[in-house]
């Protein structure tokens, strides 16, 4: 059935009045001319490294000059009512034995109408979990000694301390936001002009992996409407099933990049739901990673770019750097053990990020690159910054850490030259920078309202800054030599 749909969809012309939208959804590199970079921009390579489930305060609460916290409010029951009390943030290891709920309902509970006092009341477990509240453990900060590479990067380069999630929800929608700036599936007339019928994806699908590879035929998504109501009656998590967007109309940065002839890749681990599946034995269904945002995008999943632009495993980025094959725009997704996700038995995340940054910094790509490191959601951990506004779909969400590494980073006043940016950003701030850098136009999602992060943290008039390697426990060689990770699923 899917093969038939692929053939049919490849013959469809989607008409919305522009060369991009009138093209086949499976076309690659549509125009004959290549868009050039914006005037004065030396940036030819953007690398977006996406880590997992940490609030800003969880990693950088005590970072000098940043908007961090040493204590937070929480609601506790006294007699027959709840009252607020202060809880001191405690030092903690990076590894946390259990996950904490971080879906839209837990965002609403923690946010508590701007009071930011309900983090202790959400349950332990994944998004659908109910049960005993997590309590005070989420009022913590990870000790600097556990995440030295992150602090080293922040001390030398740029730490953005007001980067907010696009939506108060988990990893599924966050990863969509990082490739398209929103999850609206209603085009009436657009998601920038909401109506009572406007709906967006929220939380995670009912079956894993994400997207077109969902293992159950009746897998569904959850939807949130403009009244903040969430219902699990959405379409199958594959974009051609989105009612107003069939045959490739659910546009992502891929569409803008392809139309402009700008190269891109999405580096991601492999996913399989088969027990005993290993790289040596082969995995016949090893198609879509658990955290692969493009597995949702039908024209990519069932088009030629699934083998040319979706690069598995994620360590392929090291080969592309060393072989002079790094694309203009890259997304880099970690394996579970390298993701900082709570509930993992090991966490090589700081070394993983350092290895990617070092690979760029020590290569010929350095003087033409910017690396963004961002965490996809708050993971249930306390954060002190009240999201600056709420739109119709639960956004902005909570604050997450963001690092920017480039020879054109604004230099700060610390002894190592680090700069803390207090400017308000959101995930589409990164996408807007990419759009501006290559004159791509706009997706027309939250990139319309978002600030261009490059305008606030990069200075092209300065002499390119030299790179010093970030010390870490493991190098790129460790991740390349380690057997490829076959992920078997861990919701959000």
Query: pLDDT tens across 295-340, in order?
Result: 999 999 999 999 999 998 899 999 999 999 999 999 999 998 999 9
- What would the mean pLDDT of 408-423 be, rounded to a whole number? 92
For residue 165, give the nearest of 128, 121, 110 by alpha carbon: 110
Task: Find the range with the poorest average confidence among 71-75, 98-102, 253-257, 429-433.
Answer: 98-102
Q: Residue 218 has which token pair?
A: 């009746």
Check: pTM over 0.75? Answer yes or no.
yes
- Residues 6 or more apart whose CB falls under 8 angstroms from that of 487 comprise 269, 270, 271, 272, 289, 290, 335, 336
Task: Find the range with the poorest average confidence among 119-123, 216-220, 325-329, 466-470.
Answer: 216-220
* Model confidence band, residue 246 (pLDDT cutoffs 50, 70, 90): low
Question: Mean pLDDT score of the chain, rounded to an integer?
Answer: 87
CA distance 455 to 294: 28
Evaluated on CA atoms 479, 358, 412, 406, the torsion sign reads negative
| Domains defined along the chain, listed by start | 2-74+143-181+245-487 (3.40.720.10)
Q: What is the pLDDT of residue 459?
A: 97
Q: Residue 79 phi/psi, 5° resolution?
A: 70, -120
- What would the mean pLDDT of 412-440 be, rounded to a whole number? 95
Across 182-275, where does the E strand assignment appear? 199-202, 222-225, 230-231, 264-267, 270-271
CA distance 115 to 137: 19
26, pLDDT greater than 70: no
- What would the mean pLDDT of 241-246 be, rounded to a whole number? 76
**Preceding amide of 189 cis, omega within 30:** yes
pLDDT tens figures, 331-385: 999 998 999 999 888 899 999 999 999 999 999 999 999 999 999 999 999 999 9
119 with 381: CB under 8 angstroms? yes
* Model confidence band, residue 482 (pLDDT cutoffs 50, 70, 90): confident
- What would the mean pLDDT of 191-204 be, rounded to a whole number? 82
10, pLDDT greater than 60: no
Across 1-70, where does the E strand assignment appear? 45-51
């Amino acid at each position: 059935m899917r093969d038939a749909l692929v053939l049919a969809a490849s013959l469809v012309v989607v008409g919305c009045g522009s060369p991009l939208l009138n093209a086949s959804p499976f076309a690659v590199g549509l125009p004959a001319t290549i868009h050039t970079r914006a005037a004065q921009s030396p940036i030819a390579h953007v690398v977006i490294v996406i880590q997992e489930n940490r609030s800003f305060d969880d990693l950088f609460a005590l970072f000098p000059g940043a908007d961090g916290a040493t204590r937070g409010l929480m609601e506790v029951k006294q007699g027959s009512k709840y009252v607020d009390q202060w809880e001191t943030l405690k030092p903690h290891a990076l590894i946390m034995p259990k996950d904490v709920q971080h879906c839209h309902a837990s965002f609403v509970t923690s946010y508590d109408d701007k009071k930011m006092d309900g983090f202790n009341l959400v349950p332990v477990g994944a998004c659908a979990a109910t049960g005993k509240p997590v309590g005070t453990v989420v009022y913590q900060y990870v000790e600097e000694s556990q995440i030295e590479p992150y602090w080293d990067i922040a001390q030398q380069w740029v730490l953005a301390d007001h980067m907010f999630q696009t939506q108060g929800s988990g990893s599924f929608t966050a990863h969509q936001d990082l490739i398209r700036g929103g999850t609206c599936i209603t085009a009436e007339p657009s998601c920038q002009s909401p109506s009572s019928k406007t709906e967006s994806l929220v939380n995670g699908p009912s079956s894993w992996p994400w997207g077109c590879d969902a293992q159950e035929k009746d897998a569904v998504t959850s939807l949130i409407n403009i009244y903040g109501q969430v219902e699990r009656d959405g379409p199958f998590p594959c974009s051609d099933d989105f009612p107003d967007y069939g045959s490739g109309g659910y546009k992502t940065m891929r569409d803008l990049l392809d139309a402009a002839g700008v190269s891109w890749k999405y580096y991601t681990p492999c996913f399989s739901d088969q027990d005993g599946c290993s790289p040596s034995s082969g995995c016949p269904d090893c198609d879509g990673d658990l955290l692969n945002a493009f597995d949702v995008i039908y024209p990519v999943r069932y088009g030629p770019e699934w083998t040319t632009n979706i690069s598995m495993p994620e360590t392929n980025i090291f080969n592309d750097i060393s072989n002079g094959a790094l694309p203009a725009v890259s997304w880099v997704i970690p394996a579970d053990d390298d993701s900082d996700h709570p509930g993992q038995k090991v966490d090589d995340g700081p070394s993983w990020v350092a290895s990617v940054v070092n690979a760029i910094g020590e290569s010929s790509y350095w003087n033409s690159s910017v690396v963004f490191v961002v965490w996809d959601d708050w993971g249930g951990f306390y954060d002190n910054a009240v999201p600056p506004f709420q739109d119709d779909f639960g956004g902005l969400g909570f604050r997450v850490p963001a690092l920017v590494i480039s020879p054109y980073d604004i230099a700060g006043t610390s002894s190592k030259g680090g700069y803390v940016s207090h400017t308000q950003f959101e995930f589409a701030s990164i996408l807007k920078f990419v759009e501006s850098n290559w004159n791509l136009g706009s997706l027309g999602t939250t990139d319309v309202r978002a600030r261009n992060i490059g305008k606030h943290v990069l200075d092209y008039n300065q002499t390119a800054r030299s790179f010093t390697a970030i010390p870490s426990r493991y190098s790129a060689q460790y991740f390349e030599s380690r057997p490829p990770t076959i992920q078997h699923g861990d919701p959000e």
